[in-house]
Amino acid sequence: MSQTLAIVLASVLALPALAAAQPREVVLGVVYPMSGPAAQAGVDNKAVFELAAEIANGATDLPFPFYQRLKGMPGLKGAKVRLIFADHQGKPDVGQAEAERLITQEKVTALVGSWHSAVTATMSQAAERHGVPFLNPESSSPGLTRRGFKWFFRTSPHDEHFTQVMFDFFRDFEKKRGVKLKTLGLTYEDTLFGADSGKVMKDLAKKHGYEVVLDIQYRARATSLQSEVQRLKGANPDVWMPTSYQTDAILFTRTMKELDFNPKMIMTQDAGHISPDFIAAVGKDAEGTMSRAPFSTDLIEKRPVARALNVLYSKRAGKDLYDFPARAFTGMMTLLDAINRAGSTAPDAIQKALIATSIPGEQLIMTWDGVKFDETGQNTLVKGIILQLLGGKYHTVYPFDVATKDVLYPIPAWKDRK
């Protein structure tokens, strides 16, 4: 009796070991805002993540060597990639709870997420504690890769890279056009994203000799931005530099028009100002708005990989590939490539493979030099560009050698429009 029990017990205990040796499935937790104010980012990204999984599973074809090598996950003998999507609603506490659930109950191999810097911060803490790889494709708060984490990897540039590009642009633009930009007005929202962006902008402004004449941290998702715009109007900076998510970006533009605030140059930190909703909602009134970005839709035509992916993506999502899904895709493919090379779903094998990542730039849809992580988990081969909203579309205007349009400066005053 006790012998039978021992045999049964032994075989039961051995089962997970066998399963781990030959995984038939790679389960990844993907956590994004699927409801709430930033739901659009999550919903648009979901389509591109599903495409990434299909490419890995061999169901969809992207005819470029890097993606062909991943086809059917040969490193894991054809294990199928399965994604579990979860919604964090833009809330750090919900994100952390979802991360815990995915790790402990769904037993995911790795986590991917999660757009908002503040949510990425709490989710990756859970992943770090459990020793599960966390790939972050887009959160731009610089501090995320400075926490000494061992399981956190970020493929995207962060706000220091991005903001540096803005100041490089100011320098080159002043030289090219013979103008002098002296004063900056900063407005940034009050979550981690805005707070970090504001800090970086202030540091770089000081370093490059610009005067910050207005420095406002405002309450995100405000019902009114009248007082903020009144103060901007009073300070009248040469360049207005806002950091906002969608809701506030739309409201800022509408309020500016109502209150007749006429900045000559608007340099934004991506996010709200670059989302298709912002363009659809107030694009006409936002003519001339500039943004840093890691990707631009007008580059699709110039990059064969991006063009091929956009054909697949636009069919599924009903819109062209843009910054959010482009970065999401790049992050997910980086993780899938690492898992494939690891040939296992064991966390440390994947971690080792991620550290050894080396993806050449021409295989990416981004204009980066490639993907290669430093010891903090930050991709070192990133590059930012500057875009400007012209005629309802964002066009690349800097660096000048890849620009598709000339910079519109100054932005016409409200009274001179149409």
Partner 1 sequence: MEIVNFAHGEFLMLAMYVAFFAWALGHLDPLLALPLAVLALAALGWATYHGLIRWVLGGPMLAQIFATFGLAVFLRAGAQFLWGVDFRVVQDPWLGGRVALGPVFVGLPQLAASVAALVAFLGLWRFLARSETGVALQATAQDRQAAALMGVDTDRMYALGWALGAGCVGAAGALLAMYFYVFPDVGGTFALLAYVTVALGGFGNVPATLAAGVVVGLVEVFAGLLLAPAIKYAVVFLLYLAIVLWRPQGLFGRW
Q: Given the rule CB under 8 A, which residues bind partner 1?
A: 35-37, 39-40, 43, 190, 216-219, 221-224, 226-228, 230-231, 246-247, 250-251, 254-255, 257-260, 277-278, 280-282, 284
- Closest CB 258 distance from partner 1, rounded Å: 4
Nearer to partner 1, 221 or 372 (CB): 221
Nearer to partner 1, 84 or 259 (CB): 259
- Closest CB 299 distance from partner 1, rounded Å: 24
Nearer to partner 1, 4 or 223 (CB): 223
**Upstream peptide bond of 197 is cis (omega within 30 degrees of 0):** no
- Closest CB 163 distance from partner 1, rounded Å: 20
- Closest CB 221 distance from partner 1, rounded Å: 6
- Closest CB 254 distance from partner 1, rounded Å: 6
Which residue carries 């980086």 as its tokens?
Answer: 334
Nearer to partner 1, 40 or 314 (CB): 40
For residue 104 the two structure tokens come to: 């402990």
Nearer to partner 1, 185 or 377 (CB): 185
Nearer to partner 1, 220 or 353 (CB): 220
- Closest CB 146 distance from partner 1, rounded Å: 24
Neighbouring C-alpha atoms within 13 Å toward the C-beta of 256 = 22
- Closest CB 255 distance from partner 1, rounded Å: 8
**In whole angstroms, what is the distance from residue 79 CA to residue 58 CA?**
11
**In whole angstroms, what is the distance from residue 232 CA to residue 167 CA?**
21
Nearer to partner 1, 146 or 219 (CB): 219
Its sign, for the CA torsion 96, 100, 106, 109, is: positive
- Closest CB 121 distance from partner 1, rounded Å: 19
Q: How far from the centroid of its chain's Cα atoms is residue 331's Cα?
A: 9
Nearer to partner 1, 27 or 229 (CB): 229
